[in-house]
């Protein structure tokens, strides 16, 4: 049996929201974190591979 589509979409939204939150942090008018760092930090928080996070974000 496959994964529940609604739960999967919810997980994708959570991952994307966390990534966007990190990516939008500014310090002195400049982005504080690189995209690579945001991807790695998101992957670490949600126990995923960075490639999976990229697939969720850039889909």
- Supply the range of the domain harboring residue 33: 5-57
Give the span between the Cα atoms of 6 and 34, in whole angstroms: 31
Number of domains in the chain: 1
Give pLDDT, residue 2: 63
**Helix or strand or coil: residue 31?**
strand
Q: What is the pLDDT of residues 13-45, one digit of tens each?
A: 999 999 999 999 999 999 999 999 999 999 999
**Count of beta carbons in the 10 Å neighbourhood of residue 38:** 22
**Helix or strand or coil: residue 26?**
strand
Give the span between the Cα atoms of 15 and 54, in whole angstroms: 10
Biggest distance spanned by C-alpha atoms of the chain: 50
Q: What is the pLDDT of residues 5-14, one digit of tens each?
A: 999 999 999 9
């Amino acid at each position: 049996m496959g994964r529940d589509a609604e739960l999967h979409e919810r997980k994708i939204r959570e991952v994307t929201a966390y990534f966007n939150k990190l990516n939008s942090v500014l310090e002195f008018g400049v982005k504080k974190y690189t995209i690579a760092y945001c991807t790695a930090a998101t992957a670490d928080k949600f126990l995923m591979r960075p490639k999976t996070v990229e697939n969720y974000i850039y889909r």
